[in-house]
């Protein structure tokens, strides 16, 4: 059985897109998983065909930069466009997970992930966390550690604001994102398809 997973992402300057690509690569490394990346900016409103595409997936991974301590306005546009689906609980019992990237190491990223969890719970979805121990939290630790941001609700990454998405976030964050994508894909296979 093949399960379908979608990464729904917004990125203003390419950093979060780089993370989305790593998440998707990780998910694709798991057999029998079909992965698509949807740009939240392409979801124009409740009638968007991309929302209909999401009706057919088994798991969604939400990704947004943290802007002003929350998900970006573009990503919020997707969230609000989905309210018709919420009315029908059309996405109930699909898996959900999320990631966010910011300029500061903390940057109030937790708030963005909590927004994602709340959003998923409104839709009746089941949340999958990061599933990795925190890195860079002891004297021998470094920025090369996986999960150097020490997240658990979802995947957190940090990109220096003076560097482009080609180099920031650094390799350790991209590897963290890949492992996260693989985890959600594996969970989706265990959870099974939501098709009737
Ligand atoms: C409007 C705006 C608000 C931002 N707010 C925050 C913030 O609250 N915390 C933070 O650490 N960085 C903040 N940043 C920096 C971005 O999170 C950072 O540059 C990130 O890498 C952008 O991701 P993107 O390239 O995918 O858009 C902000 C950037 C912008 C443009």
Is ligand 1 within 6 A of the CB of residue 101? yes
Question: Is residue 62 within a helix (H) or strand (E), and if so which, with residue range?
Answer: strand 59-67
Q: Is the pLDDT of residue 25 over 60?
A: yes
Q: Check residue 193 and give its pLDDT.
A: 84
Which residue minimizes the CA distance to atom 4 of ligand 1? 67
The residue assigned the tokens 């409104």 is 122
- Nearest atom of ligand 1 to the alpha carbon of 165: 25
Best residue for ligand 1 mutational test, from 9, 39, 67, 164 (most atoms within 8 Å of Cβ): 67
Nearest C-alpha to atom 9 of ligand 1 is from which residue? 107
**pLDDT tens digit sequence for 134-190:** 999 999 999 999 999 999 999 999 999 999 999 999 999 999 999 999 999 999 999
Decide: 148 in ligand 1 pocket, CB within 6 A: no
Q: Which two tokens stand for residue 46?
A: 């409740």
Q: What span, in angstroms and rounded, lies between the C-alpha atoms of 196 and 56? A: 11
Task: Among 41, 64, 102, name the best residue to mutate to test ligand 1's pocket (greatest count of ligand atoms within 8 A of Cβ).
Answer: 102
3-class secondary structure for 111-145? HHHHHHHHHHHHCCCEECCCCCCCCCCCCCCCCCC
Write the DSSP string, 3-56.
EEEEEEE--SSSHHHHHHHHHHHHHHTSTTEEEEEEEGGG--STT-HHHHHHHT
Which atom belonging to ligand 1 lies closest to the Cα atom of 10?
Answer: 26
Residue 19 sits at the vertex; the CA angle it makes with 14 and 25, to the nearest 5 degrees, is: 125
The two three-digit tokens of residue 170, written as one number: 């650094």
- Mean pLDDT of all residues in 77-82: 98
pLDDT(195) > 70: no
- Per-residue model confidence (pLDDT) at position 112: 99
Residue 1 confidence (pLDDT): 85
CB 123 within 8 Å of CB 92: yes
CA distances from 93 to 112, 157, 186, 192 (A): 22, 27, 16, 10
Tens-digit pLDDT profile for residues 84-142: 999 999 999 999 999 999 999 999 999 999 999 999 999 999 999 999 999 999 999 99
Q: Which residues contact 190 (CB under 8 A, 6 or more apart)?
A: none
Q: Quick check: CB of 63 below 6 Å from ligand 1?
A: no
Higher-scoring residue by pLDDT: 195, 182: 182
Distance (Å) from CA 113 to ligand 1 centroid: 14
Domain 3-191 annotated CATH 3.10.20.740 = no
The proportion of the chain whose per-residue pLDDT surpasses 70, expressed as a percent, equals 99
* Pocket of ligand 1 contains residue 107 by CB under 6 Å: yes
How many angstroms separate the CA atoms of 172 and 50, rounded?
Answer: 31
Domain map of the chain by residue range?
3-191
CA atoms within 13 A of residue 46's CA, in its CB half-sphere: 7
Residue 196 has pLDDT above 80, yes or no: no
pTM of the shown model? 0.98
Rounded to an integer, what distance in angstroms lies between the CA atom of residue 85 and that of residue 82?
Answer: 5
104 CB less than 6 Å from ligand 1? Answer: yes
């Amino acid at each position: 059985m093949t399960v379908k997973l979608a990464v729904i992402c917004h990125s203003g300057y390419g950093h979060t897109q780089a993370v989305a690509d790593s998440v998707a690569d990780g998910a694709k490394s798991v057999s029998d998983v079909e992965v698509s990346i949807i740009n939240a900016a392409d979801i124009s409103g409740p009638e968007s065909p991309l929302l209909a595409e999401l009706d057919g997936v088994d798991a969604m991974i939400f990704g947004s930069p943290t802007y002003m301590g929350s998900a970006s306005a573009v990503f919020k546009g997707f969230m609000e466009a989905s309210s018709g689906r919420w009315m029908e609980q059309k996405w109930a019992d699909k898996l959900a997970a999320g990631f966010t990237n910011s300029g500061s190491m903390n940057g109030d990223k937790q708030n963005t992930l909590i927004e994602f969890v709340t959003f998923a719970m409104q839709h009746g979805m089941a949340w999958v966390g990061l599933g990795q121990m925190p890195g860079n939290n002891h004297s021998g630790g470094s920025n090369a550690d996986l999960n150097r941001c020490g997240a658990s609700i979802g995947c957190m990454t940090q990109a220096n604001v003076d560097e482009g998405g080609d180099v920031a976030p650094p390799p350790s964050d991209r590897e963290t994102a890949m492992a996260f994508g693989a985890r959600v894909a594996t969970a989706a296979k265990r959870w099974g398809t939501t098709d009737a």
